[in-house]
Each structure stands twice: as C-alpha cells, then as structure tokens.
A and B are shown apart, each in its own frame.
Chain A
Amino acid sequence: KAGVTQTPRYLIKTRGQQVTLSCSPISGHRSVSWYQQTPGQGLQFLFEYFSETQRNKGNFPGRFSGRQFSNSRSEMNVSTLELGDSALYLCASSLAGGVSEQYFGPGTRLTVT
C-alpha cells in the first residue's frame, strides 16, 4: 500500500510570490491535515480537510488556504509569500481524522528568498 506522497519535495520561491503544494493520501483515507514545521517550533496545525470540506483550521493568516478534491488529494496554497513562510510543510492522512491514525508524508521544504 503506497504511503502519503507530497510534491514537490523542495521549492524555492521569492517574497510576494504564491505557491501550491500537493498531497496524495493513502488510498481510502478521507482526511488530510496540513502542518507547518520550523526548527525548534514543533509542528503547527494549519487545517484539516475531510470529504472535500475544511473541518478544522489552525491559527494562520488567510494567505494560507487549502482544498481537497473528490479523490481525497489535497492542495495547500500560500499567497504573497513572506520570508517567515520558509518551513517544512507536512501533510498527514487518516481514514476519518482519528487522532491515532495519522500517517505523514515526507514533506515539502519551502524556502522563500
């Protein structure tokens, strides 16, 4: 069974640009959560999508948005990039959003210059 995949793995963007990251969950999983990870900060929850609907949202500005497609694949978008957006963006999938069943992808490393 294939794991969670994220594309691209690495990305370099310039301040002010926008970026779209993609996450393909494990087959059959309907929940996708997104996290931002910066050194020494742990993981910060961005949002969770379940059956194409945003079910939970963390404390991030509106520049961060996401969506989920009917096949459960999810994308997150960051507009008007700032230097502080440089981070590892992780997505996790689970069958129904259960706390103990999140499987993480390898992440997308975003660098904003």
Chain B
Amino acid sequence: GQQLNQSPQSMFIQEGEDVSMNCTSSSIFNTWLWYKQDPGEGPVLLIALYKAGELTSNGRLTAQFGITRKDSFLNISASIPSDVGIYFCAGPNGVDSNYQLIWGAGTKLIIKP
C-alpha cells in the first residue's frame, strides 16, 4: 500500500539543540499532519498543514508543507527533555469522507543525558 517515508528513524540529541525531521511521499497530499506519541499513550496532533508552502508554528515546533506537495518538514527548536517521544507524519489518502490516514514509521527522539 501507499507509504510515507519518514527520516531519520531516530535521533540522539543534546538538550537545547534544534531538531529537524522530514516526511516524503511518492504521491501528492492535500494535508499533512504531525503527531507525537509518548510511551503508553496514543498519538497527539501537533500541527496540521493544508496548503503547499504553508509554514505553521506551535510553540517551539514549526512544520512546513513542501511546495511539491510530496513532502513535509518538522523542526523543534531548543529541545527539552519532554520532547522525547516518537513523531509521526500522516496524510489522508482519499477524497472527502472516503479517506484513510497513511502514516510514516516515525522518528524517535532521544535526548542524551
């Protein structure tokens, strides 16, 4: 089935560093979603993007909808311990109500002690 390619698979960073991750697709998406999942919890929506070229921020998080509509990027500035978790990109495959969300495999963020 259709896949979203998310990279990197994992990241080891120092507290205070900036983080970048991306998601690519072989086909065009009209919406890009970024979620974060903490251990033992379900994913939580961070940012939703609806327009090519759109740049949206949520606190220290910034996400961009690529102009080709086949990719998206998520940046986290000045990382803190609570940023640890798995970040997923997702996009809807389908039209109107007849859709399903396609998910990337996730980027695991680990902060070095």
- Bitwise interface map of A from 81 to 100 toward B, beta carbon under 8 Å scored 1, else 0: 00000000010100011011
**Interface residue count for A (Cβ, 8 Å)?**
26
Judge whether B42 and A42 touch: CB under 8 Å.
Answer: no
A100 in complex: contacting residue of B33, B41, B43, B104, CB < 8 Å: B33
A56 in complex: contacting residue of B31, B40, B99, B105, CB < 8 Å: B99
Q: How large is the interface on B (under 10, 10 to 19, 20 to 34, 35 or more residues)?
A: 20 to 34
- Measured between beta carbons, the chain A residues less than 8 angstroms from B103 are 35, 42-44
A100 to B45, CA, bound (A): 8
Minimum Cβ distance to chain A for residue B62 (Å): 17
Taking Cβ atoms with an 8 Å cutoff, the residues of A that contact B are: 4, 33, 35, 40-45, 48, 50, 55-56, 58-59, 90, 92, 96-97, 99-100, 102, 104-107
